């Protein structure tokens, strides 16, 4: 039997990049995966491709996870279809190459809302489903910059990802008596479309030279998430699992 057989998982921001990689690995290991991303034809098409290539995929649920009303609708829809929720992966996020001088308050609020507020809203909704079950796994996708700091601006991105660590540790304490774990996966430099668009080919190649194991893949991140959601993660909570190829060593 596959390690996650019978599990229902919801992955936010699952249309592309790391979210897509996580969804594919969870489904590969037996989970039924509900994929979430923003409403819109481009995201729907990309997510549909994930569903088509994923064995056991649970369908696409469009919602803006920064909007409390849409989040409530998202979790109600998933719960209505499957009757339970075992895994939540808070992956939805974005970045912007601005430093303290160039980032406006609007820039700051947008990144914090997309990356951190969405994590709060979705975790809250998931806890309301998981608590009566007395079981569940929540995995928040942070970043190496949460500990190391960003090298090229991204001041609001680094702040949002660092905030996720404190949020996860505190959530883990609340969730533990309910049989629910909460952990963070902190990827390093992962080869994605977002990385290329944010840093460009030249800067990305330069960054890769500083990583002992080179650029990571979305599958590397997916496997880490699957570990925390499986039997091996039963006794792990409030932790941060670094997936960075040796870029940052604690």
pTM over 0.85: yes
Contact criterion met (CB below 8 Å) for 181 and 175: yes
Question: What is the rounded average pLDDT for all residues in the chain?
Answer: 92
Residue of 220, 235, 223, 231 whose CA lies nearest to 1: 231
pLDDT band for 1, please (50, 70, 90 cuts).
confident
Q: Could you tell me the sign of the dihedral formed by the alpha carbons of 43, 105, 123, 195, in that order?
A: positive
Q: What is the mean pLDDT of residues 142-149?
A: 88
Pairing assessment for the beta strands 87-90 and 57-62 based on DSSP bridges: unpaired
pLDDT band for 198, please (50, 70, 90 cuts).
low
Give the separation between CA 36 and CA 44, rounded to whole angstroms.
9
Contact criterion met (CB below 8 Å) for 36 and 58: no
- pLDDT of residue 5 exceeding 80, the answer is yes
Q: Please say if 82 is a catalytic residue.
A: no
82, 152, 157, 235: the catalytic one is 157
pLDDT tens profile 154-197: 898 999 999 999 999 999 999 999 999 999 999 998 988 767 76
pLDDT tens profile 79-134: 999 999 999 999 999 888 888 898 899 999 999 999 999 999 999 999 999 999 99
- Tokens 């209505």 belong to residue: 80
- Tokens 């990802």 belong to residue: 161
Let me know how long the chain is: 250
Q: Any idea where the domains of the chain sit in the sequence?
A: 8-242
What pLDDT is stored for residue 43 in this prediction? 76
pLDDT band for 231, please (50, 70, 90 cuts).
very high
- Tokens 């992955």 belong to residue: 11
CATH fold group of domain 8-242: Rossmann fold (3.40.50)
């Amino acid at each position: 039997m596959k390690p996650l057989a019978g599990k229902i998982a919801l992955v936010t921001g699952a249309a592309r990049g790391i979210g897509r990689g996580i969804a594919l690995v969870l489904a590969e290991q037996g989970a039924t995966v509900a994929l979430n991303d923003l409403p819109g034809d481009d995201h729907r098409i990309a997510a549909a491709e994930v569903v088509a290539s994923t064995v056991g995929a649970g369908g696409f649920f469009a919602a803006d996870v920064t909007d409390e009303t849409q989040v409530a609708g998202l979790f109600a829809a998933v719960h209505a279809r499957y009757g339970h929720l075992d895994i939540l992966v808070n992956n939805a996020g974005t970045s912007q190459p601005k430093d303290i001088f160039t980032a406006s308050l609007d820039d700051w609020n947008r990144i914090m809302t997309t990356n951190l507020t969405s994590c709060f809203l979705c975790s809250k909704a998931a806890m309301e489903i998981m608590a009566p079950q007395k079981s569940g796994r929540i995995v928040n996708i942070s970043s190496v910059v949460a500990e190391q700091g960003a090298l090229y601006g991204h001041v609001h991105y680094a702040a949002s990802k660092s905030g996720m660590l404190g949020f996860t540790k505190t959530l883990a304490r609340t969730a533990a008596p309910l049989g629910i774990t909460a952990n963070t996966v902190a990827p390093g430099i992962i080869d994605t479309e977002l990385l290329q668009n944010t840093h460009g080919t030249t800067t990305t190649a330069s960054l890769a030279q500083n990583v002992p194991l080179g650029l990571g893949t979305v599958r590397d991140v997916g496997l880490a998430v699957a570990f925390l959601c499986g039997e091996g993660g039963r006794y792990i909570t409030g932790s941060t699992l670094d997936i960075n190829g040796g870029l940052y060593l604690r």
